[in-house]
Structure 1
Amino acid sequence: MKLETALHKYFGYSSFKTGQKEVISSILAGSDTIAMLPTGTGKSLCYQLPGYLLKGQVLIISPLISLMQDQVEQLMKIGEKRVIALNSFLHEDERKEAFQNLKRYKFIFISPEMLGVSFIIRKLQALSISLFVVDEAHCISQWGYDFRPDYSKLGEIRQKLGNPLTLALTATATAKVRDDIITSLGIKNITRVESSVDRPNIAFYLEKVTDYFSKQRLVLELVSRLKKPGIIYFSSKKAAEEMALTLMEKGICRANVYHSGLDPDSRVLIQQQFIHNQLDVICATSAFGMGVNKDNIRFIIHYHMPMQLESFLQEVGRAGRDGKPSIAILLYSPGDEQIQLQLAEGELPSEQQIDWLFSQINHESLTSHLNIKEDLQSRGGFTEIQWRIVQGFFELLNETTSLETLKETIKEFVNGRLMVKKSNIYRMKKWIDDDCCRREFILRYFEEANKKNEDPCCDYCGLQLDEYYSTEDGNTVVEIGKWEWKEYLSEILINSEMSE
């Protein structure tokens, strides 16, 4: 069957987006494939269409529950019932039934953490897996911006499953990270499909402000003027909550907040309200966006400086998926980089935590660390992410490895990761400070050829924000300078009391 015919039959589309056909053709030819396709170009189709044309199951490893749920819902919308996400959303009876009838499903989504359970591996080994998909594959590489320890074990998992045909997908990975993905998965011969990270219809605009007071006023004015819908990204849950509340109270737009502190049901509800145009703006942390299938997002505002160019591009790429002009605005105030440096350090266990941990254990107790995990984690003040990192190294312990060697190995890894994170933050700051085209800087980082003459391009190239303002009547416009400091202080005090 011709690929375009299959595309129309199963999905109703008449043509492929950039890179899709090349990836699908490679998979159907039986070649392991790594694909770097820009955010918003339909990476999921690259495994969904082959899934219908290949016998057996498609196993998709995905890092986020929200991303899994969205992909499941999208498949169900086209009438596919043989799809399931093996995650915490399943009730106990649903999970039991799923594992008893796993062969019934065509598309199986699963987190890398669940693949560490031997019972689940045995169930998967009984299947005929025709395609092993690693979504957000940059999470594999310790040089990647979003390294996940459990992703680094996927090469071993793949081997246990008989080395099935493999597809690794990512939107933002440097050449070094792409090479690391291939090595980690244990693939020798692989087809590479690497498209540009550039999205020409998304323009970049940087605004430097003197302080957070000015930044908050500027956001209110921008949101009141810009075409909607849009997303505002924050590095602080509290700041996101305060902005959403202010936007609503001032009647600027229909807004809500989204972050990891909300319960799962609330997150799903807010996401659906945004997708179905019941909300104009989402004030969110980085927890929001992956898998959000909304093609008409007109603006992305970063209230805080992102930690790295890769995550910035991924979040920006959620705009303009319909191909229409969209704007990505980054607001910078002095000291923003310190927030990211603190967050980077907080994601990793400190030397003091590691020293304390090893003072509490001995070789014998580590052999049954599952019994002491919860106690040591809480007593040592380890976050879930910090503990997952440390726990991954426990598995390296054997009769020939001393505790001191293991401790130094963990410290060396943590220091290396912190260096990578700091380097990413400094590069992001350089993007802000450099006197050059914003788009060209990004393309150079990803080792791509110079950009085409995009117009509009960025603030350096003469872009004017009013090109992205709404022309509809009835907008509540908040002008800078019209919001008095007393009102601002009152808002902050009220919101602070409400969020405590």
Structure 2
Amino acid sequence: MELESLLKKHFNYHSFKHGQKEVITSILSGSHTMAMLPTGTGKSLCYQLPAYLLEGQVLIVSPLLSLMQDQVEQLIIRGEKRVVALNSFLDKNERTQIFSRLDQYKFIFISPEMLSIDFVVHKLKQLNIALFVVDEAHCISQWGYDFRPDYMKLGTVREKLGNPLTLALTATATKEVVSDIIQSLNLEMWNEFIYSVDRPNISIRVESLESVVDKQKKLIELVSTLQGPGIIYFSSRRLAEEMVELLRGSGVQKVMAYHGGLDQESRILIQQQFLNGQLDFICATSAFGMGINKENVRFVIHYHMPLQLESYLQEIGRAGRDGKESIAILLYIAGDEQLPYQLAESELPNVKQIELCFKWILNCPDNLSNIADFEAELRILARLTDIQWRMIRDYLQSLNANELNLTKYMNEFKLFVEQRLNIKRDKINEITRWTNSIQCRREKILNYFDEQKKMDIRNCCDICGMDMQSFYKKENEAHSIDFQFHWKDYLQAMLTK
């Protein structure tokens, strides 16, 4: 059967987007594949369609629980019932039931942390893994902007699973990061598909403002006048919620906040209301949008500066997936970069936290061999966040308990953390320079990814000149029909699947 016929049968699409067919053909030929496709291209199709032609299970490693859940839900909505997510959301009974019939699933989504559990790997080894998928593969690289220590172990996990056919996917990776991904996964032969990160239909604009009050007024003005739907990104959960109230008080309706502090039911409800047109605007943290397939988002506004150009591209890429003209606007006040610096520092353990953990090991060296059992004690002692704990735990587990030189190891780990912090600072410096540059914003982004701007684009960016009237609501704009969406029935179906 032709790929187009399968595409219509399983996904009701008539044609492939740029790069999809090439990647799928590579996989079906039995070749390991590294693919960098621009945001909005539909990377998930690159493993979902081949799954129907491959005998066995497709194992998808995903870094975010919210992304994992979104993709599971989308497959279920399309009618695919053989799908499951293995993550920390599962209670003991759910986990037992799932592992007892793991071979009955076609799509198995899993967090990289779950793959560090011997029991989980043992169960997966009993399956016929037809395709091993690493989503958001830039998380593998220690030079990447979103490095995750557990991703570095995927090469070893892959070997334990018998070196299955592998697909690595990302939307944003420099040449250095792509090389690191290939090396870490231990791929000897592979096909590489690297496409431009550019999204020509998304106009890019930076609005420089004088004060927080000016920024709030500008946000209200933009949300009130721009064609929607739209997403507004914040670095703070609290501020996302506060701005929802401010927008409502200014007459903007159909707006909600979305962030990791919401319970699962609320997140599902808000996502579905946005997808189905009951909400026009979302004030969100970066967790929102990954895996959500809403094609008609007309604008993305950043209230806070992202930590790097890579995540900026990921987030603005949620606009204009239908190929129509859309706009990305960053609101900037001089000094805004201080918040990203603070966030970057808070993600990593500081010197005091590191020293407290190593002092504890010095007093309890026998506990090093099962350090994960003392998570609660160490996290309270050093006041560690989830990310800080995982980084310290992974390093401690890598130590040789028979040749402990704690001072040496502690200094090595401090150096590693300092290197990570310097990488994050360099990324923040890069996006700060980009924000203050007078060079074409699109060209600067392309240059960062070793690309060249090859064509003139109408409404390219604020530096090149753009007609904002293209993005404003039309006076005679028709009101969308607010059809009845039975969210209670949807929630019940999703949560009892």
Q: TM-score, normalised by structure 1?
A: 0.93
Give 1:86 deviation, angstroms. 1.4
Cα contact 2:356–2:381 (8 A) shared by 1: no
Partner deviation per Cα, 1:405-452 (whole Å, 9 max, x = no partner): 221221111011101000000000111111111100000000112231
Rounded to whole Å, the distance in 1 between the matches of 2:454 and 2:246 is: 39
The equivalent of 1:434 in structure 2 is 437
Give the CA deviation at 1:396.
1.1
State the one-letter code of the partner of 1:391.
R
Residue 66 of structure 1 corresponds to which residue in structure 2?
66
Offset at 1:401? 4.0
Identify the residue that residue 82 of structure 1 maps to in structure 2. 82
Residue 463 of structure 1: aligned partner: 466
Other structure's SS at 2:73 match: helix
Q: CA deviation at 1:5?
A: 2.1
Structure 1, residues 132-187: CA drift from partner, whole Å, max 9, x if none?
Answer: 00000011111111111111111110011001000000001111101001111111
Structure 2 CA distance for aligned equivalents of residues 141 and 426 of structure 1: 20
Whichever residue aligns with residue 434 of structure 2, its letter is W
Give the distance between the partners of 2:18 and 2:394, measured in 1 at CA. 38
Deviation at 1:365, TM superposition (A): 2.4
Alpha carbons 1:82, 1:105 under 8 Å: kept: yes
Deviation, structure 1 residue 465: 1.9
Kept in 2: contact 1:62–1:68 (CA 8 A):
yes
1:238-275 CA distances to partner (integer Å, 9 max, x unpaired)?
Answer: 21111111111222231111112222222222112111
Query: What is the rounded CA distance, in whole Å, between the counterparts of 1:401 and 1:46 in structure 2?
Result: 46
Instruction: Tell me the secondary structure at the aligned position of residue 52 of structure 2.
Output: helix
**RMSD between superposed Cα atoms in Å:** 1.4
- Aligned equivalent of 2:381: 379
- Other-structure match for 1:487: none
Amino acid at match of 1:364: D
Matched, 1:389 2:391: yes
SS at match of 2:341: helix
SS of corresponding position for 1:272: helix
3-state DSSP class of the match of 1:422? helix
Secondary structure at the counterpart of residue 459 of structure 1:
coil
Equivalent position of 2:157 in the other structure: 157
Q: Cα offset for 1:80?
A: 1.3
The number of residue pairs the alignment matches comes to 475
- How far has the Cα of 1:370 moved from its partner? 2.8
Structure 1 CA distance for aligned equivalents of residues 133 and 178 of structure 2:
15
Deviations 1:294-317 (A, max 9, x none): 111000000111110000000000
- 8 Å CA contact 1:443, 1:451 repeated in 2: no
Say yes or no: does 1:422 pair with 2:451: no
Paired-residue identity, %: 58
Q: How far off its partner does 1:9 sit?
A: 2.3
- Which residue of structure 1 aligns with residue 453 of structure 2? 450
| Equivalence for 1:258 | 258
What does 1:53-452 align with in structure 2 at a 5 Å threshold?
53-362=53-362, 363-398=365-400, 399-452=402-455
Distance of 2:230 and 2:206 partners within structure 1: 17
- Identify if the C-alpha distance between structure 1 residues 7 and 473 changes in structure 2 by more than 3 Å, giving closer, same or farther: closer
Contact 2:66 2:287 in 1 (8 A): no
In 1, the alpha carbon distance for the partners of 2:94 and 2:104 equals: 14
The structural deviation recorded for 1:474 is 9.2
Amino acid of the structure 1 residue aligned with 2:95: R
Letter matched to residue 428 of structure 1? I
Task: Please tell me the residue identity of whatever aligns with 1:397.
Answer: L
- 1:89-125 residue CA offsets vs partner (Å, 9 max, x unmatched): 4343332111001111111111101111111111000
1:473 to partner: Cα distance: 5.7
> 1: distance between equivalents of 2:179 and 2:377?
39
1:18 Cα deviation after fit: 0.7
Q: Measure, in 1, the Cα distance between the counterparts of 2:108 and 2:252.
A: 42
Distance 2:17 2:372 in 1: 47
User: What are the Cα deviations for residues 203-230 of structure 1, in whole angstroms up to 9, with x where unaligned?
Assistant: 0011100111100000000100000110
Letter in 2 for 1:316: I
Q: Give the drift of 1:372.
A: 2.2
The letter of the residue matching 2:148 is R
CA contact (8 A) 1:82 1:104 kept: yes
Task: Kindly provide the CA deviation profile for residues 271-298 of structure 1, in whole angstroms up to 9, marking residues without a partner as x.
Answer: 1211111111111111211111111100
State the distance in 2 between where 1:180 and 1:401 align: 30
Distance 1:93 1:352 in 2: 40
1:130 counterpart SS class: strand
CA deviation after TM superposition for structure 1 residue 472, in Å: 4.2
Q: Which moved more, 1:41-50 or 1:68-77?
A: 68-77
Contact 2:38 2:171 in 1 (8 A): yes
SS at match of 1:53: coil
* Contact 1:299 1:328 (8 Å CA) reproduced: yes
Deviations 1:29-63 (A, max 9, x none): 11100100011111000001111011111000011
State the alpha-carbon separation in 1 of the partners of residues 452 and 130 from structure 2: 36
AA aligned opposite 1:313: L
Structure 2 SS opposite 1:458: coil
